[in-house]
Amino acid sequence: MIIDIHTHTFPDAIAARAVDKLKHNSHTEPVLDGAALSLSASAKAAGVDLAVIQPVATSPAQVRDINDGAIETNRSSYVTRLASFGCMHPAFDAPEQECARLAEAGVKGIKLHPVYQLTDMDDPSYVRVLRAAADCGLLVLIHAGIDVGFLDRTYSDVGKIALALDAVPDGRYILAHMGGWRQWDEAQALFAGRENVWIDTSFSLGDMTPLGDGFYETHSLSRLSQGRFLQMAEAFGAEKLLFGTDSPWEDQAAEIAKIRALPLEENEKTAILGGNAKALLGL
């Protein structure tokens, strides 16, 4: 079973506009158009059994509507190959009740993105959200490290994430982008060996695809080399890695091929591509 734990879609009415804005912010070229139908087709073509959407609320007013959509998405997962986490915003006034609603509906977790929510991850409002999620048995997937679209924003600095996780030690956490995008050394030092922390592989292995606007003539395109990726896999343990693509920003089939090309044991590659996520999601 192959599970892509980290994908994104947008409502059809705004998908094209949203992806266009994000690609110019990030100076990178998307692979898909951000529509759910496109992700579903991509998953089927790549042999992905389940693509998990990670929605982001950029204001507290969006939370309930986005979560309604997540619940609806999960009703047709066996047909579409799409599932969805819920979302939460640090300024939302009732995280305890909303997390309970999501858990009762069978949603497996929530996504937090401090960079887009303009709040430091160690802020008490996020600690409250983590506490609510832990009490309801929800996983929390956190954008970790720098964001490609906002290289100067430090809201998701791995040190701040560590403080938040320390405040709620009984939660279960997935740290995106191999634990902290472009903060990989710090992420390994802070999170490797933590029993309640998993990391996803999204947008971390190999080079990015530049937009062609000249931005990356002066900014590095390098991400993790295969060698450094393998060092992190050894440090965390292959059982702690979850396959993710950050679709629409990476091609699912190509990212699967990258994992399969790694000089790891076959059982380790199978675990990374889906076995670990299957167990974590309780499927």
User: Is the confidence at residue 142, as pLDDT, over 90?
Assistant: yes
8 Å CB contact between 278 and 3 = yes
Count of domains forming the chain? 1
Q: Strands (DSSP E) along the chain, which ranges?
A: 3-7, 50-53, 82-84, 86-87, 109-112, 139-142, 172-175, 197-200, 241-242
CATH of the domain at 166: 3.20.20.140
pLDDT tens digits for 247-282? Answer: 999 999 999 999 999 999 999 999 999 999 999 999
User: Is the confidence at residue 167, as pLDDT, over 90?
Assistant: yes
Name the region of 85 (left: φ>0; alpha: ψ -120 to 50; beta: rest): beta
- Please report the pLDDT score of residue 218 as a whole number: 64
The tokens describing 281, both together, are 């999601």
User: Is the confidence at residue 219, as pLDDT, over 70?
Assistant: no
DSSP state letters, 226-271: HHHHHHHHHHH-GGGEE----BTSS-HHHHHHHHHTSSS-HHHHHI
Please name every residue paired with 238 in a beta bridge, in sequence order, or none if there are none: none
Q: Are strands 172-175 and 109-112 parallel, antiparallel or unpaired?
A: unpaired
How large a percentage of the chain has pLDDT more than 70? 99
- Please report the pLDDT score of residue 163 as a whole number: 98
pLDDT tens digits for 102-124? Answer: 999 999 999 999 999 999 999 99
pLDDT tens digits for 73-100? Answer: 999 999 999 999 999 999 999 999 999 9
8 Å CB contact between 202 and 175 = no
- CA-nearest of 281, 283, 268, 282 to 85 is 281
- Please report the pLDDT score of residue 260 as a whole number: 98
- Please report the pLDDT score of residue 203 as a whole number: 96
pLDDT tens digits for 33-45? Answer: 999 999 999 999 9
Query: How far apart are the C-alpha atoms of 46 and 240, rounded to whole Å?
Result: 23
Domain span at 174: 3-281
Average pLDDT over residues 122-137: 98
Higher per-residue confidence, 221 vs 197: 197
